[in-house]
Amino acid sequence: MPIFAANSAFLFLKQFSFVYCHTIMKIFYTLIFSFFFINIAFAQKGEVVVIKDPLIDSLIAKRVDVYRTSGEVKIGKPIVSSYGYRVQIFYGSDRREVFNQQARFKTLYPRLNTYLIYKEPNYYVRVGDFRTRLEAQRLMSEIRPTFPTLFIFREKINAPQLDITTDDQR
């Protein structure tokens, strides 16, 4: 083999290895530069500052006070218990008629509480605070001749009044 051919092969390999190494170095440096650039670009340091009205804290404190229970029962104040039943005795859009029906019921049954509810455009008169549906049905059967349109509703009720008389007072 002539020296010229061997020499040109050697030059070709030398040139190829230089181009190959140069390309690999370009890729390597590009990756390192990209890695550092991405770290700098996405590295976010800072603080979160909450700006709020100072009344919010006072409202939260008031709400906590309202819902904090002391465990004592206050006389004359209704205790809202869990769900129970009430009997709806009347509904209509005439306000005077609703008040008349409520007064009529109160004269017949003064011991039962009555509740007026307004859902546009009607007024509803509901009575009683019954823990069971059976109690509500007993009242319903008793007053059906006087109030013909009766329905039973399940809703939050007030606990019945406690008898606070002692044995000495009886």
Residues 32-78 pLDDT 10s: 777 766 666 666 677 888 888 888 888 888 877 777 655 555 555 55
Q: Which of 22-26, 60-64, 108-112 has the highest mean pLDDT?
A: 108-112
Is the residue at 69 inside a domain?
no
Does the model's pTM come out above 0.95?
Answer: no
pLDDT at 150: 92
Q: Count how many domains the chain has.
A: 1
**CA distance between the termini of the chain:** 135
pLDDT band at residue 126 using 50, 70 and 90 as cut-offs: very high
Is the residue at 42 inside a domain?
no
pLDDT at 29: 75
Q: How far is Cα 155 from Cα 129, in angstroms, rounded to an integer? A: 9
Look at phi and psi of residue 24 and say left if phi exceeds 0, alpha if psi is from -120 to 50, else beta: alpha
pLDDT at 18: 59
Residue pair 150/144 in contact by the 8 Å Cβ criterion = yes
Tokens 């007072």: give the residue: 169
Is the residue at 21 inside a domain?
no
Is the residue at 113 inside a domain?
yes
CA distances from 60 to 52, 63, 66 (A): 13, 5, 10
Cα torsion 131, 135, 141, 142: sign: negative
pLDDT band at residue 99 using 50, 70 and 90 as cut-offs: very high
Is the residue at 36 inside a domain?
no
Domain containing 147 equals 80-158
Is the residue at 140 inside a domain?
yes
Q: What is the CATH number of the domain that holds 123?
A: 3.30.70.1070
Is the residue at 110 inside a domain?
yes
Is the residue at 63 inside a domain?
no
